Structure 1
């Protein structure tokens, strides 16, 4: 259970809630469904709205969101899988990042006979540098999108591992839900039970998270790429656990959030987490950027600011369109960060 703290006592302007309300009322955060802000491990602010929503591609109609309303977090799921891998690794249940990945999918030994595929490691999946053909540029509504095609496949792991090789692994970041699926498969095989059960017992329960869903593909396997549904409060709770290394080894969070491969505009990718600079190069005096981010289709965001001991969780409904991060960026750049006083 979150303990509350007044914005002023948490180092924000006392009128923080009013600033957020004004942002929404002025239409500068379209599609915003929920915001939860925590600082120093306490709940500073939460706000919920109303809007059309979906569970994956199933319409839910107009939803009045609240503290107990679960929401798709889409590809934020990948980052939670990154946490679960670290927990399993500390217990000796999954292979080390440097191990060949096909060694742990022995049913696909024919693929391992290809030297190019035999070179794929667990780390290549964790960093999305597999070098395999993968395209998620199409909407997440049909098999033209590689992730959706994977969710419809008879064997999701073979679907990923047999994609054409387009470049040397480890050289370039290329967004891939298939990479997360492979990591999820390694976890499930290593712990000897479904991914969602391990998540419940090894991460969610220790954090007091009791309300979640984990959607599955046509093969009945929980989607490690995008299947989680959580409340914004619980999403923020996971973020706080990362900052506090609670239920997650501190050594793993450090490695997970270390820049491993460049992505865009000075940002990087760690192990299934986006990694930011924590500062805004060339822009002295401006509020800091996030240091780590988990992001999902539609504007789902979990921002971590370790130096500020600040966690921000945002849910939104801008699925498959342009400007999916507009609401979250407005919340951060126009309300929260300018309102910091200490």
Structure 2
């Protein structure tokens, strides 16, 4: 009778679907949590370790291979392209001045002599000095830029608020000008440059750019690519500039690019995610890549990552040989930081225990 009762209970759970929801491991819990409303805006997750795909899930209409807007995570890809341009000799170094790349736009609007001191490094570090600030939303210049014909001209003509190199103010204007520098220095469009020197070596063939009315590609965001191909970008960073045994960008550049030198005051992604386990640590900024230590009472790992509005992330955890990508639609919401909760609850414990 006892065996019969156990059998009935087992069949009940199977029929109700409860048995099917039992995760085989921590990673399987991600898809379950994504479908049961815990992470309602999560759309895709890919995880590779040592270049091999170990987990992927697609939710809420996103499919494998679907193109997704990277939003500002593309700024980090732009930083990679700058490194490649330096490696190839198109750009001398990050200390080159910005405005000499654009002589055709003279006379520049709102000219101030301090603009002469603005360098490529200032753009990479979000220290251009332009009177724009998207981080706290106090002065978002991107919307105004998108209503003009020539986005490069708009950026160059903006007034300064601070001396270049002195203050961290996050703005898409900087990344847009980096794309213009790549195009002018290489004598080809940014899309042609990226296709030849980054995407083709990685086997990335499906993507979509956003352009201004004159055809300038934006390198600040609005670039569409699949989560799997986002992961390939992360693998380049993980392997110090190498993909599948071939050098894409110098290791020296990757190291410099991902060094967290600028502390973002009063900001922690883990804290915003409201994870109860991790101890919030500050977020740092390098050349368009972020760094944050994920720390609990039992372990800690440093995460280097690209970040875009809505929950778009390329995360690199070097000591575990991991690359993790997230895509989502939590735009302009604190829920965009929930991937850090997923990282702490499911991903890092799964690999750290092995």
How would you bin the TM-score normalised by the shorter chain? 0.7 to 0.9
Determine whether 1:78 maps to 2:75.
yes
The alignment's TM-score, normalised by the length of structure 1, stands at: 0.84
Highest Rg: 1 or 2? 2
Q: 1:325 aligns with which of 337, 345, 351?
A: 337
Residue 138 (structure 1) shift: 8.9
Tell me what 1:4 maps to.
none
Sort the Cα spacing of 1:77 and 1:35 in 2 relative to 1 into closer, same or farther, 3 A. same
Aligned length: 308
Contact 1:152 1:218 in 2 (8 A): no
Determine whether 1:275 maps to 2:287.
no
Query: Residue 30 of structure 1: SS of its match in structure 2?
Result: coil
Q: 1:27 aligns with which of 23, 37, 62?
A: 37
Which structure has more relative contact order (CA 8 Å, sep 6+)? It is 1
Determine whether 1:260 maps to 2:258.
no
Query: Residue 339 of structure 1: SS of its match in structure 2?
Result: helix
Contact 1:213 1:230 in 2 (8 A): yes
Residue 338 (structure 1) shift: 2.2
Determine whether 1:67 maps to 2:64.
yes
- Post-superposition CA distance 1:211-258 (Å, at most 9, x none): 111111233211101131111000001101121212121111011111
The alignment's TM-score, normalised by the length of structure 2, stands at: 0.81
Over the residues paired in the alignment, what is the CA RMSD in angstroms?
2.1
- Post-superposition CA distance 1:138-185 (Å, at most 9, x none): 98xxxx841122233233223222322212221221111000011110
Residue 134 (structure 1) shift: 0.8
Contact 2:79 2:287 in 1 (8 A): yes
Tell me what 1:115 maps to.
113
Q: Give the 5 Å matches for 1:303-318.
A: 303-318=315-330
- Post-superposition CA distance 1:31-79 (Å, at most 9, x none): 11100001111101000011xxxxxxxxxxxxx2221111111111111
Tell me what 1:53 maps to.
none
Query: Residue 82 of structure 1: SS of its match in structure 2?
Result: helix
Residue 97 (structure 1) shift: 0.8
Contact 1:303 1:311 in 2 (8 A): yes
Gaps of 5+ in 1: 1-12, 51-63
Residue 311 (structure 1) shift: 0.5
Q: 1:301 aligns with which of 303, 310, 313?
A: 313
Sort the Cα spacing of 1:14 and 1:38 in 2 relative to 1 into closer, same or farther, 3 A. farther
Q: Give the 5 Å matches for 1:190-339.
A: 190-244=185-239, 245-246=241-242, 247-264=248-265, 265=267, 266-276=282-292, 278=293, 280=295, 283-290=296-303, 292-326=304-338, 328-339=339-350
Give the distance between the partners of 2:31 and 2:300, measured in 1 at CA.
21
